[in-house]
């Protein structure tokens, strides 16, 4: 390989390993401001709506987003990913906000732009970037390739349009459902603490913070659970439960799509407790489990991947998710603080590489500047508690290891190295935009107000102390108690980590991944204070220049589906490995089918499988591929001949009703001419006792 290509590959590998840790029906009438005022006189509450939709992308042969492992490609589905949306309307003014939480690794700016464009087509100016907050749970077990920035698509072999469309379409659908669902309602707030679902994975950095900051977190974790309880009339219709922990109970060895611990918590509340069946597509209880300032919070309680409280990553997912669920339901029942007051929002676009930060926000009281983005060498170490490391790189690297950094042949100018000090500069992504947008420069900073409750939308991963400082700044500017301000991480865009200046100096993984230098957090504090002042004063805010739409500059090195072909003397849907005649509860039923590539039809809003039970002479769906007890796994048998199989497993729960069952597989096959044909396969019937 020529030297220039070698250097490019080294740069790609370094970036990839570093940076991932990444038409509808008619619109119902909307109350006017005057009509809203009259209605509010009779009912002082809000209009509340909720919606949910599928955002699951390509379930096979697509790189996964989060761990940036080239070897981690989707091979099926454990549980589907969902978008959960809530609309809140101020009946007195007609102002409204939308809150979305999706089972994704990140909300990239590409997604914000795509969703905003679709909502604009649908609703005109009713829903915009300013009053729509998009957030991600930060699962690391979903398909990637949906960013417009090179750094976050490298390990996925470029932009994956199928996954991107599924995400944007699903989020928009969830918002439309919430919009169509708005009814007079009320919102109450509850808080609690949860101390056994997170651990600080960067204690070395945390301990560098001043004692006054550390005192806010006695266990070096943020134990706060904040829950909004949403009602329509006297009916509970939704809950939003914020808690800071990484959504990484499942490791980078897994290749099945999963919403991880937060997705399990949402599913268990909706499905197990409220009887929601997603494929029935009718309004039901919607429960979101978003993240906050989780940058240094890990669910792996033993501080190593897939470890804690057990050594089984799926069991850990269930346990950590279950602990969040139990606490959230407890807080929900006692949520008696009424949310009252106006609904409002503000958003500004800030060039984070070029912020002059005043002394009011810097540790030494002097003016400083942010820098063009640089990926630190310690970033390549990864977070050893949650993800992989690259040999030769260690957390805490404050000066370059010459032979490693020189091999990458990426020069960081002296002025930039000085600005980023003490970071061991590795890849100056902020200087590479002329080639291709690598990491973001212009970011959306947003604050959403729902009565006395405020959400600060952060486009990155804030450590608990960084989040605390942002909350203090915003609360002071708004003149409200600290507990009325919450930092929503992974929102509207993604720009990696945000540490305090003290944490930055340690150059652990999080500090090396703080793109814009030591004064990144003070810059955020300053700019959020500006947004908060506008919100408090009720004055307009100059939006700034939004980042360009980079969709036309995307590429993919991932080959598509050429054709599917069943093995000799078989047909699509035929059973290769049959179910047993009977099973005991607690056992596992497994069936293999001849199948086609799942990229032929993502079956978004549908399923690749059903577990059916014979009830009164007819087959009734009991489970599908969104359920915890099932797994759909796709395996390529022969790439040359285009043959593959689907393996469907059902872990038969102890509460499964005795009876007669069968497993059904739904798939789609592509011919050599490109025609896609659906098919169905059905197992033998079997009994469960």
Q: How far apart are alpha carbons 199 and 292 in whole angstroms?
A: 15
Looking at residue 271, the DSSP 8-state letter turns out to be: I
The H or E element containing residue 352 is none
Q: How far apart are alpha carbons 9 and 411 in whole angstroms?
A: 16
Structure-block tokens of residue 659: 């009876």
Looking at residue 198, the DSSP 8-state letter turns out to be: -
Closest CA to 447 of 344, 337, 296, 308: 344
Structure-block tokens of residue 62: 């697509």
Across 275-303, b (16+ Cβ under 10 Å) vs e yields: ebbbeeeebbbbbbbbbbbbbbbbbbbeb
Q: What torsion, rounded to 10 degrees, do the Cα atoms 490, 495, 496, 498 define? A: -90
Structure-block tokens of residue 432: 């590479």
Do the bridges between strand 286-288 and strand 235-242 make them parallel or antiparallel, or are there none, so unpaired? parallel
CA angle 118, 119, 120 (to 5 degrees): 90
Contacts of 118 (CB under 8 A, 6+ apart): 168, 169, 172
644 a catalytic residue: no
Structure-block tokens of residue 579: 């179910």
CB 115 within 8 A of CB 138: no
Three-state secondary structure readout of 494-547: CCEEECCHHHHHHCCHHHHCECCCCCHHHHHHHHHHHHHHHHHHCCCCCCCCCC
Q: How far apart are alpha carbons 274 and 112 in whole angstroms?
A: 31
Annotated catalytic residue within 69, 147, 298, 495: 298
Residues labelled catalytic: 298
């Amino acid at each position: 390989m020529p030297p220039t290509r070698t250097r490019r590959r080294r740069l790609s590998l370094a970036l990839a390993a570093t940076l991932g840790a990444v038409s509808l029906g008619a619109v119902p009438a909307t109350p006017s401001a005057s009509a809203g005022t009259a209605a509010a006189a009779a009912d002082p509450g809000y209009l509340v709506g909720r919606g949910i939709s599928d955002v699951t992308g390509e379930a096979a042969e697509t790189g996964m987003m989060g761990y940036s492992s080239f070897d981690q490609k989707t091979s099926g589905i454990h549980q589907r990913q969902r978008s959960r949306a809530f609309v809140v309307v101020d009946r007195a003014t007609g102002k409204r906000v939308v809150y979305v939480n999706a089972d994704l690794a990140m909300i990239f700016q590409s997604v914000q732009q795509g969703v905003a464009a679709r909502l604009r087509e649908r609703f005109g100016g009713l829903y915009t970037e300013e009053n729509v907050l998009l957030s991600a749970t930060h699962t690391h077990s979903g398909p990637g390739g949906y960013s417009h920035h090179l750094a976050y698509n490298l390990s996925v072999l470029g932009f994956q349009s199928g996954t991107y469309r599924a995400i944007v379409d699903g989020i928009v659908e969830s918002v439309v459902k919430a919009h169509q669902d708005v009814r007079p309602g009320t919102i109450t707030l509850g808080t609690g603490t949860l101390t056994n679902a997170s651990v600080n994975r960067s204690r070395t950095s945390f301990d560098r913070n001043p004692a006054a900051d550390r005192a806010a977190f006695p266990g070096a974790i943020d134990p706060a659970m904040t829950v909004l309880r949403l009602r329509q009339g006297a009916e509970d219709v939704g809950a939003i439960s914020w808690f800071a922990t990484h959504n990484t109970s499942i490791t980078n060895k897994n290749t099945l799509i999963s919403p991880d611990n937060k997705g399990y918590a949402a599913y268990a509340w909706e499905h197990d407790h409220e009887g929601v069946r997603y494929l029935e597509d009718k309004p039901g209880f919607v429960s979101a489990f978003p993240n906050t300032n989780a940058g240094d919070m890990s669910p792996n309680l033993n501080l190593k991947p897939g470890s804690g409280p057990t050594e089984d990553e799926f069991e850990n997912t269930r346990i950590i998710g279950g602990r969040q669920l139990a606490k959230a339901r407890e807080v929900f029942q006692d949520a008696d603080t009424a949310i009252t007051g106006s609904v409002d929002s503000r958003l500004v676009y800030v060039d984070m590489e070029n912020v002059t930060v005043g002394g009011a926000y810097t540790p030494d009281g002097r003016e400083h500047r942010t820098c063009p983005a640089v990926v630190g060498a310690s970033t390549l170490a990864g977070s050893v508690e949650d993800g992989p490391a690259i040999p030769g790189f260690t957390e805490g690297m404050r000066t370059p290891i010459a032979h490693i950094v020189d091999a990458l042949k990426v020069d960081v100018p002296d002025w930039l190295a000085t600005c980023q000090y003490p970071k061991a500069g590795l890849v100056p992504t902020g200087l590479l935009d002329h080639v291709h947008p690598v990491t973001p420069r212009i970011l959306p900073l947003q604050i959403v107000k729902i009565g006395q409750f405020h959400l600060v939308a952060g486009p990155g991963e804030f450590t608990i102390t960084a989040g605390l400082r942002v909350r203090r700044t915003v609360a002071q500017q708004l003149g409200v108690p600290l507990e009325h301000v919450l930092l929503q991480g992974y929102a509207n865009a993604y720009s990696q980590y945000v540490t305090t200046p003290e944490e930055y100096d340690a150059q652990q993984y999080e500090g090396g991944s703080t793109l814009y230098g030591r004064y990144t957090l003070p810059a955020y504090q300053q700019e959020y204070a500006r947004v908060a002042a506008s919100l408090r004063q009720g004055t307009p805010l100059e939006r700034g220049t939004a980042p360009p739409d980079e969709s036309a500059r995307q590429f993919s090195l991932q080959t598509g589906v050429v054709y599917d072909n069943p093995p000799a003397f078989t047909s699509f849907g035929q059973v290769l490995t049959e179910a047993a005649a009977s099973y005991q509860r607690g056992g596992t039923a497994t069936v293999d089918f001849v199948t086609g590539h799942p990229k032929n039809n993502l079956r978004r809003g549908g399923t690749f499988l059903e577990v059916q039970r014979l009830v009164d002479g007819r087959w009734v769906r009991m489970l599908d591929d969104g359920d915890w007890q099932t797994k759909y796994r796709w395996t390529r048998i022969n790439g040359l001949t285009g043959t593959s199989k689907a393996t469907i497993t059902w872990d038969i729960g102890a509460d499964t009703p005795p009876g007669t069952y069968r497993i059904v597989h739904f798939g789609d096959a592509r011919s050599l001419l490109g025609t896609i044909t659906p098919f169905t396969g059905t197992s033998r019937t079997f009994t469960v006792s």
